[in-house]
Amino acid sequence: MARFSIPIMRFVFLCFWAASTEAVYMKYKDPKQPLGVRIKDLIWRMTLEEKIGQMMQIERGFASADVIRKYYIGSVLSGGGSVPAPKASAEAWVDMVNEFQRGALSTRLGIPMIYGIDAVHGHNNVYKATIFPHNVGLGVTRDPVLVKKIGVATALEVRATGIPYAFAPCIAVCRDPRWGRCYESYSEDHKIVQAMTEIIPGLQGDIPANSRKGIPFVSGMTKIAACAKHFVGDGGTIKGIDENNTVIDLHGLLSVHMPAYIDSIRKGVSTVMVSYSSWNGKKMHANHDLVTGFLKDKLKFRGFVISDWLGIDKITSPPHANYSYSVQAGILTGIDMVMVPQDFVEFLNDLTFQAKNKIIPMSRIDDAVKRILRVKFMMGLFEKPLADLSLVNQLGSQEHRELAREAVRKSLVLLKNGKTIANPLLPLPKKASKILVAGSHADNLGYQCGGWTIEWQGLGGNDLTIGTTILTAINNNVDPSTRVVYNENPDVEFVKSNKFSYAIVVVGEHAYSEMYGDSQNLTIAKPGVSTIHNVCGAVQCVVIIVSGRPVVIEPHLATMDALVAAWLPGTEGQGIADLLFGDYGFTGKLARTWFKTVDQLPMNVGDPHYDPLFPFGFGLMTKPLRDN
């Protein structure tokens, strides 16, 4: 045996050396390895607990570095209004995100977590961020180049706070303005919504020409992963009731609500969020045929599918009534990452039990994890998981505010201009002896920005963030000799006795989000109607409607000399004054039908018996008084 001792020792040594080398060299950590090799290598190393951890997204209020380390959490989010501190700086956001990330990196395999946030009209959760017009206004512009620029700016501001993932854009086709999320929709016309998916390459970067169909793409550290939502048909629910049932045949679903998803996937969108709503009575969170069969198999989407907030809980009625069934139904439907904000341990235990007992096959778990890892690898999170402070000056930058101001100008629609065509009121003279500004929305930045701004439901008042109210913008634009009088709700005698040259009345809806915005009457918030009649009955007036959708104005229209739909313009109210006083001309055309009465709803362009107050595509134009 002695003569074999040296070869045997050499063999043992080589085996030990190979094993130790393999321990040091992990293919998934090598950026030179092909994407598929990295994913396969990492999944092969993962335990079931680590895989399920990747499939969970928890709320930052319930997260910590220790929690992330203990449960191998794959993603953290900020819900609406969930911030590290009131009016937190970009630096504070970066510190918080990095603290969570260090927890993820300290796990056995060091898989980075991905932090997500609802940046739906700019980085709207964050103090001092640029708040762009909501989508209902951007659809009016019919300008995909502008919307792409907004995507670029939003990505920079989101990255400025250390966040690499936004739950945007919403590509719902709102078919009934009674829906509380209608302002998140670009239009009732799917063609406009399709064009506006150009925001995706703005957020993520332009997809390479040779990219495979459906592969997610994020081009660098100034870009973020986007999320097309809410799949599918959320804008078509009965009576516009949020999270309700969309009753439409397959042809209608594919021709109205699906086209923007096809465009989004073609542009490399990284993730798709499932809708709370149902299609013909089937909950979308439990619709395997559409989520797996159509989105993943037919459209070849290779990013990950994410649930909405507590989305799988709502598969049953009442929610959470049979949680084990909901977990099984949601995961087998094809949902890869589950937004379980608070009770993530319950989800983990339930899914672990079902996987170990082959109720949910490991192939489904592996598919989910593969998709999540694909996005993380594509984004470069493994190479640069920690954020730095190099982009903090992008938050609310002047360049982005100027872009938002341009978007406001292009999103306004002039619906009426003068009691007769021969006597237009707009543009208004900057030089006048005395003018009146009235209305609950004239000096209210919160109403101007609407929901999904700092708080989930939005806020009233001017202290929520930095911006320019319409009143301030008017003061900035008029001649220094012009006296501007602000009275929120004046009576008729006040208006008559002051002998104003003209008046600007700004009224509309209060801030709201989701189901809290569902409305069957669509009226202007009190005392808006009385303000219109008190002012416009006594002096020449232009009325500006600040709202997330068309509202009832037909009974009051004759009283007004001019009418402007301003939608939810965001922080840059100066864009409204730019048009009122003729620095720029009105160019916006309605991307939504403006009804006469709510009894007509739903009513969309192309419907039989189409009889609107202002039709889809309507908008008066004015010329600027000077070149710009």
Using 50, 70 and 90 to split pLDDT, how confident is the model at 381? very high
514, 518, 572, 583: which one is catalytic? 514
User: What is d(CA 411, CA 400) in angstroms, rounded to the nearest whole number?
Assistant: 16
Hey, what are 233's tokens?
Answer: 């048909």
Percent of the chain with pLDDT over 90: 94
Q: Characterise 197 by phi-psi region: left (phi > 0), alpha (psi -120 to 50), beta (else).
A: alpha
d(CA 292, CA 272): 12
Residue pair 55/337 in contact (Cβ under 8 Å)? The answer is yes
Decide: residue 217, CB within 10 A, 0-12 exposed, 13-18 middle, 19+ buried. Answer: buried
514 is known as an active-site residue: yes
Give the tokens for residue 36: 């598929």
H helix count then E strand count, the chain: 21, 17
Give pLDDT tens digits for 240-284: 999 999 999 999 999 999 999 999 999 999 999 999 999 999 999
pLDDT at 23: 54
- Identify the pLDDT of residue 48: 98
Over residues 190-224, the pLDDT tens digits come to 999 999 999 999 999 999 988 888 899 999 999 99
Report, as an integer, the average pLDDT of 315-330.
97
* Cα distances (Å, whole numbers) of residue 334 to 170, 289, 303, 349, 553: 20, 9, 12, 19, 45
| Nearest of 529, 585, 534, 527 to residue 552 by alpha carbon | 529
- Per-residue pLDDT at 20: 46
Is the pTM higher than 0.75? The answer reads yes
| 3-class DSSP assignment, residue 486 | strand
What integer is the mean pLDDT of 363-385?
Answer: 98
* Residue closest to 253 by CA, chosen among 285, 229, 231, 227: 231
Q: What is the pLDDT of residue 422?
A: 83
Q: How far apart are CA 427 and CA 421, in angstroms?
A: 13
User: How many alpha carbons lie under 13 Å from residue 394 in its C-beta half-sphere?
Assistant: 19
> Could you read off the pLDDT of 129-156 as tens digits, one per residue?
999 999 999 999 999 999 999 999 999 9
Whole-Å CA distances, 358 to 315, 332, 415, 560: 22, 12, 61, 67
Contact 273, 238 (CB under 8 A): no
- What pLDDT is recorded for position 18? 44
Return the closest-CA partner of residue 69 out of 94, 39, 100.
Answer: 100
Q: Which two tokens stand for residue 523?
A: 């009226």
The mean per-residue pLDDT over the stretch 357-367 comes to 98
Residue-wise pLDDT tens digits, 601-611: 999 999 999 99
Q: Give Cβ neighbours of residue 229 (< 8 Å, ≥ 6 apart).
A: 167, 168, 169, 170, 171, 172, 272, 273, 275, 308
- Note the pLDDT tens digit of each residue in 36-81: 999 999 999 999 999 999 999 999 999 999 999 999 999 999 999 9
- Check residue 338 and give left, alpha or beta (phi > 0: left; psi -120 to 50: alpha): beta
What value does the mean pLDDT take over residues 365-372? 98
Burial profile 550-573: b = 16 or more Cβ within 10 angstroms, e = fewer? bbbbeebeebbbbbbbbbbbbbbb
Cα 391 to Cα 224: distance, rounded to the nearest angstrom: 13
From CA 55, how far away is CA 48, in angstroms rounded?
11
Give, in degrees to the nearest 5, the angle at Cα 283 between 277 and 289: 115
Query: Which domains does the chain possess?
Result: 48-394 (3.20.20.300), 412-600 (3.40.50.1700)
CB 565 within 8 A of CB 417: no
User: What is the tens place of the pLDDT at every residue in 496-526?
Assistant: 999 999 999 999 999 999 999 999 999 999 9
Instruction: Specify the pLDDT at position 627.
Output: 60
Q: What pLDDT, on the 0 to 100 scale, is given for residue 420?
A: 83
Residue pLDDT, tens place only, 106-120: 999 999 999 999 999
- Round to whole Å and give the CA distance between 427 and 604: 31
CA–CA gap between residue 285 and residue 278 (Å, rounded): 8
Residue among 147, 227, 235 nearest 195 (CA): 147
Q: Which residue reads 């490399």 in tokens?
A: 268
Is 308 annotated in the active site? yes
Catalytic one among 308, 313, 350, 443? 308
How far apart CA 316 and CA 320 sit, in angstroms, is 6
- What residues contact 622, with CB distance under 8 A and at least 6 apart? 414, 417, 424, 426, 427, 579, 582, 585, 586
**Can you tell me the mean pLDDT for 559-576?**
98
Closest among 159, 615, 201, 198 to 387, alpha carbons compared? 159
| 544: helix, strand or coil | strand
Angle (CA) 311-315-320 rounded to 5° is: 85
Strand partners of residue 78? 117
17: its two tokens: 């050396």
The pLDDT score that the predictor gives to residue 510 is 98
Contact 311, 224 (CB under 8 A): no
Tokens, residue 143: 């300008």
